[in-house]
């Protein structure tokens, strides 16, 4: 197969002067500097585009500082609320805890029912798979 590709490649005509043009282009690339030229500091920094980015950066910093401060202020208020008891009456607190635990138990039982259905389906599929394997042997 490699011989076939080489034979086809050898049949393609090469344009005249291609080697000289490639050599000249490579020489041109070698003489060009590899790092881009950097304009003087004062020249490019006064463009309207760069000035607008400075304002955007300043606004973003302000928004960040404002957001962090706002979050910290709300966090202090939330910690003060969390320290208070939810129910002053112990009987009502017990009833609410029992209601929450009953709801958790019901949801857990629903999940276990779905799990049992999935397990039964998995066993049925596995049994069918093994029967098919036995038939193939």
Judge whether 131 lies within some domain.
yes
Judge whether 103 lies within some domain.
yes
Judge whether 96 lies within some domain.
yes
Mean pLDDT in the chain?
A: 81
Judge whether 112 lies within some domain.
yes
pLDDT at 7 (0 to 100):
77
pLDDT at 37 (0 to 100):
60
41: confidence class by pLDDT, cuts 50, 70, 90? low
The share of the chain scoring above pLDDT 90, in percent, equals 15
Q: Tell whether pTM > 0.85.
A: no
> Quick check: 3 pLDDT over 80?
no
Residue 50 dihedral angles phi and psi, to the nearest 5°: -70, -35
Judge whether 21 lies within some domain.
no
Span 104-134, pLDDT tens digits: 999 888 888 888 888 899 999 998 888 888 8
Tell me the C-alpha distance between 73 and 63, whole Å. Answer: 15
**Domain that includes residue 103, residue range:** 90-137
Judge whether 107 lies within some domain.
yes
Identify the weakest region by mean pLDDT among 15-19, 76-80, 87-91: 76-80
Span 59-72, pLDDT tens digits: 999 999 999 988 88
pLDDT at 137 (0 to 100):
67
Per the structure, the count of domains in the chain is 1
Tell me the C-alpha distance between 67 and 21, whole Å. Answer: 61
Name the one residue in this structure whose structure tokens are 């036995």.
134
Judge whether 136 lies within some domain.
yes
Judge whether 94 lies within some domain.
yes
19: confidence class by pLDDT, cuts 50, 70, 90? confident
Q: Is 80 exposed, middle or buried (0-12, 13-18, 19+ CB in 10 A)?
A: exposed
Tell me the C-alpha distance between 99 and 105, whole Å. Answer: 10
């Amino acid at each position: 197969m490699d011989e076939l590709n080489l034979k086809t490649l050898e049949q393609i005509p090469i344009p005249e002067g291609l080697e000289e043009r490639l050599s000249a282009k490579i020489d041109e690339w070698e003489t060009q500097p590899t790092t881009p030229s950097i304009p003087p500091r004062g020249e490019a920094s006064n463009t309207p585009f760069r000035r607008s980015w400075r304002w955007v950066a300043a606004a973003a910093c302000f928004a960040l500082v404002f957001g962090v401060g706002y979050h910290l202020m709300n966090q202090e208020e939330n910690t003060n609320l969390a320290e208070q008891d939810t129910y002053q009456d112990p009987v009502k607190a017990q009833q609410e805890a029992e209601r929450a635990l009953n709801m958790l138990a019901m949801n857990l039982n629903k999940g276990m029912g779905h799990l049992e259905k999935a397990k039964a389906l998995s066993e049925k599929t596995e049994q069918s798979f093994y029967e098919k394997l036995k038939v193939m042997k």
